[in-house]
Structure 1
Amino acid sequence: MKEQKRKLLPTMVLAGVISLTAITSACGNNNNAPDNANASKEPSNTASAENTNAGSEAKDVKYDPPITVTYLRPWGPDVKFKSGEDQDNNVHTKWALDKFGIQLKNQWIAPSTNNAFETKLRLSLATNEKMPDIISYRGDFTLVRELIDSGRFVDAGELFDKYASQVWKDAMNEDPTVWYPYMEDGKRIGIPILDYAYNGDPVMWIREDWMQKLGLSAPKTLDDLEKVMDAFTNQDPDGNGKKDTYGLAIGFKNWINTWMSDAGWIFGAYGTMPNQWNKTADGKLEYGSVTEGSKKALATLQSWMSKGYLPTEAGLYDETKAAEDFTAGKAGIVVGPHWMPAWPLEDVKKNNKDAQYKAYPLPAGPDGKVGRHGTSNSNGVVLINAEMKHPEAFFAYQNYLFEQYANPQVGGEFENGLAEGYDWVTVDGQVKTDAASTGGYAPEKYTLTFDGARIPSLNMQVLSKLANGEEATTPFEKKLKMSTPQPMLEAAKIVQEQKDSVLPQMFTGAPTKTMQTSNDILGKMEKDTFSQIIYGKAPVDSFDKFVEKWKSSGGDKITQEVNEWYQSVSGGTK
Structure 2
Amino acid sequence: MKENKRKLLPTMVLAGVMSLTAITTACGNNNNAPDNANASTNANASNAPANNAAAENATNELKKYDPPITISYLRPWGPDVTFKEGEDADNNVHTKWALDKFGIQLKNQWIAPSTNNAFETKLRLSLATNEKMPDIISYRGDFTLVRELIDSGRFIDAGELFDKYASQTWKDAMNEDPTVWYPYMEDGKRVGIPILDYAYNGDPVMWIREDWMQKLGLPAPKTLADLEKVMDAFTNQDPDGNGKKDTYGLAIGFKNWLNTWMSDAGWIFGMYGTQPNQWNKAADGTLEYGSVSAGSKQALATLQSWMSKGYLPTEAGLYDETKASEDFTAGKAGIVVGPHWMPAWPLEDVKKNNKDAQYKAYALPAGPDGKVGRHGTTNSNGVVLINAEMEHPEAFFEYQNYLFDQFANPPAGGEFENGMAEGYDWVMVDGEVKKDAASTGGFAPEKYTLTFDGARIPGLNMQVLAKLANGEEATTPLEKKNKLSATQPLLEAAKIVLEQKDAVMPQMFTGAPTETMQTSNDILTKMEKDTFSQIIYGKASVDSFDKFVEKWKSSGGDKITQEVNDWYKSVSAGAK
TM range (shorter): over 0.9
Residue equivalent to 1:305:
307
* Partner Cα distance (1:507, 1:156) in 2: 21
Deviations 1:197-240 (A, max 9, x none): 00000000011111111111111111111111111111111111
Residue equivalent to 1:218:
220
Aligned mate of 1:12, from 24, 30, 44: 30
Aligned mate of 2:371, from 361, 364, 369: 369
Corresponding residue SS for 2:219: coil
Corresponding residue SS for 2:277: coil
* Partner Cα distance (2:457, 2:29) in 1: 21
Residue equivalent to 1:142:
144
Which residue identity lines up with residue 269 of structure 1 in the other structure?
A: M
Alpha-carbon distance, 1:176 to partner: 0.3
Residue equivalent to 1:254:
256
Aligned mate of 2:275, from 257, 261, 273: 273
Query: Which stretch shows the higher mean deviation, 116-125 or 297-306?
Result: 116-125
* Partner Cα distance (2:136, 2:506) in 1: 30
Residue equivalent to 2:337:
335
TM-score where L is the length of structure 2: 0.92
Asked if 1:21 corresponds to 2:21, the answer is: no
Change (3 A) 1:268 1:85: same
Aligned length: 544
Residue equivalent to 2:63:
61
Change (3 A) 1:99 1:34: farther
Alpha-carbon distance, 1:550 to partner: 1.0
Residue equivalent to 1:49:
none
TM-score where L is the length of structure 1: 0.92
Unaligned runs of 5+ in 2: 1-26
Alpha-carbon distance, 1:458 to partner: 0.3
Which residue identity lines up with residue 322 of structure 2 in the other structure?
A: T
Change (3 A) 1:269 1:17: farther
Deviations 1:100-148 (A, max 9, x none): 0000011111111111111111111111111111111111111111111
> Contact (CA 8 Å) 1:62, 1:100: kept in 2 or not?
yes
Alpha-carbon distance, 1:383 to partner: 0.6
Q: Identity of paired residues, percent?
A: 86
Residue equivalent to 1:293:
295
Aligned mate of 2:161, from 155, 159, 162: 159
Asked if 1:490 corresponds to 2:492, the answer is: yes
* Partner Cα distance (1:85, 1:350) in 2: 39
Residue equivalent to 2:244:
242
Residues 497-536 of structure 1: matches in 2 within 5 Å?
Answer: 497-536=499-538
Corresponding residue SS for 1:255: coil
Alpha-carbon distance, 1:431 to partner: 2.0
Change (3 A) 1:526 1:299: same
Which residue identity lines up with residue 84 of structure 1 in the other structure?
A: G
* Partner Cα distance (1:90, 1:14) in 2: 29
Deviations 1:469-504 (A, max 9, x none): 111111221121122111100100000000000000
Alpha-carbon distance, 1:344 to partner: 0.6
Deviations 1:311-360 (A, max 9, x none): 00100101011001111111111000000011111111121111111110
Deviations 1:530-556 (A, max 9, x none): 000000000001111111111111111
* Partner Cα distance (2:527, 2:142) in 1: 25
Residue equivalent to 2:79:
77
* Partner Cα distance (1:153, 1:479) in 2: 40
Aligned mate of 2:557, from 555, 559, 569: 555
Change (3 A) 1:204 1:11: same
Residue equivalent to 2:178:
176
Alpha-carbon distance, 1:428 to partner: 2.4
Corresponding residue SS for 2:162: helix
Corresponding residue SS for 1:62: strand
Aligned mate of 1:206, from 205, 208, 213: 208
* Partner Cα distance (2:386, 2:423) in 1: 32
> Contact (CA 8 Å) 1:193, 1:381: kept in 2 or not?
yes
Change (3 A) 1:17 1:523: farther
Change (3 A) 1:10 1:559: farther
* Partner Cα distance (1:239, 1:519) in 2: 48
Which residue identity lines up with residue 109 of structure 1 in the other structure?
A: I
Change (3 A) 1:102 1:178: same
Corresponding residue SS for 1:20: helix
* Partner Cα distance (1:16, 1:389) in 2: 39
* Partner Cα distance (1:115, 1:16) in 2: 18
Deviations 1:134-188 (A, max 9, x none): 1111111111111111111111111101100010000000000000000001011
> Contact (CA 8 Å) 2:30, 2:202: kept in 1 or not?
no
Alpha-carbon distance, 1:16 to partner: 7.7
Residues 452-463 of structure 1: matches in 2 within 5 Å?
Answer: 452-463=454-465
Residue equivalent to 1:414:
416
Which residue identity lines up with residue 316 of structure 1 in the other structure?
A: L
Which residue identity lines up with residue 392 of structure 2 in the other structure?
A: H
Corresponding residue SS for 2:65: coil
Which residue identity lines up with residue 68 of structure 2 in the other structure?
A: P
Corresponding residue SS for 1:302: helix
Corresponding residue SS for 1:23: coil
Which residue identity lines up with residue 111 of structure 2 in the other structure?
A: I
Change (3 A) 1:503 1:351: same
Alpha-carbon distance, 1:430 to partner: 2.1
Alpha-carbon distance, 1:76 to partner: 1.1
Deviations 1:409-447 (A, max 9, x none): 012321221111211222222222222322211111111
Alpha-carbon distance, 1:12 to partner: 2.0
* Partner Cα distance (1:293, 1:321) in 2: 27
Query: Which stretch shows the higher mean deviation, 369-378 or 121-130?
Result: 121-130
* Partner Cα distance (1:427, 1:400) in 2: 29
Residue equivalent to 1:282:
284
> Contact (CA 8 Å) 1:265, 1:362: kept in 2 or not?
yes
Alpha-carbon distance, 1:22 to partner: 3.0
Aligned mate of 2:392, from 380, 390, 396: 390
Unaligned runs of 5+ in 1: 1-8, 38-59
Residues 336-355 of structure 1: matches in 2 within 5 Å?
Answer: 336-355=338-357
Residue equivalent to 2:11:
none
Alpha-carbon distance, 1:27 to partner: 8.7
* Partner Cα distance (1:520, 1:242) in 2: 43
Alignment RMSD (CA, Å): 1.7
Deviations 1:217-266 (A, max 9, x none): 11111111111111111111111111111110000001010111011000
> Contact (CA 8 Å) 1:35, 1:61: kept in 2 or not?
no
Which residue identity lines up with residue 298 of structure 2 in the other structure?
A: K
* Partner Cα distance (1:457, 1:26) in 2: 8
Residue equivalent to 1:45:
none
> Contact (CA 8 Å) 1:265, 1:372: kept in 2 or not?
yes
Alpha-carbon distance, 1:299 to partner: 0.2
Asked if 1:434 corresponds to 2:436, the answer is: yes
Which residue identity lines up with residue 488 of structure 1 in the other structure?
A: L
